[in-house]
Amino acid sequence: MSVHYWDEEIETLPRVGLESIQLRRLQHLVARVYKTVAPYRKKMEEAGIRPEDIKGLADLAKLPFTVKDDLRDNYPFGLFTVPLEEVVRVHASSGTTGKPTVVGYTAKDIETWANVMARALCCAGATKGDMIHNAYGYGLFTGGLGAHYGIEKLGATAIPASGGNSKRQITIMRDFGSTVLLSTPSYALNLADAMDAMKIDPKSLSLRVGIFGAEPWSESMREEVERKLNLKATDIYGLSEVMGPGVAQECLVTDRGMHICEDHFLPEIIDPETGEVLPPGEKGELVFTTLTKEAFPIIRYRTKDISRLYYEPCGCGRTMVRMEKVTGRTDDMLIIRGVNVFPSQVEHVLVGIEGVEPHYVIIVEREGNLDTMQVQVEVSEGLFSDEIRVLENLTKYIQKEIKDLLGVTCKVKLVEPKTIQRSEGKAQRVIDKRKI
Among 213, 221, 234, CA closest to 189? 221
374 pairs with which residues across the strands?
Answer: 363, 411
The model's pLDDT over 280-309, given as tens digits with 9 standing for 90+, comes to 999 999 999 999 999 999 999 999 999 999
Strand order in the sheet with 411-415: 411-415, 370-379, 356-367, 430-432
Rounded Cα distance, 207 and 203, in Å = 8
Rounded Cα distance, 155 and 118, in Å = 9
Residue 96's pLDDT is: 44
Query: Taking 60 as the threshold, does the pLDDT of residue 148 lie above it?
Result: yes
Query: Taking 50 as the threshold, does the pLDDT of residue 431 lie above it?
Result: yes
Could you please report the per-residue DSSP string of 251-306? -SS-SS-EEE-TTTEEEEEE-TTT-PBPPTT--EEEEEEESS-SSS--SSEEEEEE
Among 373, 366, 360, CA closest to 429? 360
Q: Parallel, antiparallel, or unpaired: how do β-strands 322-323 and 258-260 relate?
A: antiparallel
Rounded Cα distance, 272 and 286, in Å = 9
Read off the amino acid at residue 75: Y
Rounded Cα distance, 304 and 314, in Å = 26
The model's pLDDT over 67-79, given as tens digits with 9 standing for 90+, comes to 999 999 999 999 9
The model's pLDDT over 353-409, given as tens digits with 9 standing for 90+, comes to 888 887 899 999 888 777 889 999 998 887 767 677 888 899 999 999 998 888 888
Rounded Cα distance, 240 and 238, in Å = 7
Query: Residue 397: enclosing H or E segment and its boundaries?
Result: helix 388-406
Query: Residue 12: enclosing H or E segment and its boundaries?
Result: none
Q: Which domains does the chain have, with CATH numbers?
A: 1-330 (3.40.50.12780), 334-435 (3.30.300.30)
The model's pLDDT over 94-111, given as tens digits with 9 standing for 90+, comes to 654 468 899 999 999 999
Mean local confidence (pLDDT), 215-232: 91
What is the value of pTM for the model shown? 0.85
Residue 222's pLDDT is: 93
CB within 8 A of 93, min separation 6: which ones?
Answer: 100, 101, 140, 240
- 335 exposed, middle or buried (CB, 10 Å; 0-12, 13-18, 19+)? exposed
Q: Parallel, antiparallel, or unpaired: how do β-strands 157-159 and 131-134 relate?
A: parallel
Mean local confidence (pLDDT), 125-145: 95
Provide the 10 A C-beta neighbour count for residue 155.
11
Band (421; pLDDT cuts 50, 70, 90): confident
Rounded Cα distance, 363 and 164, in Å = 26
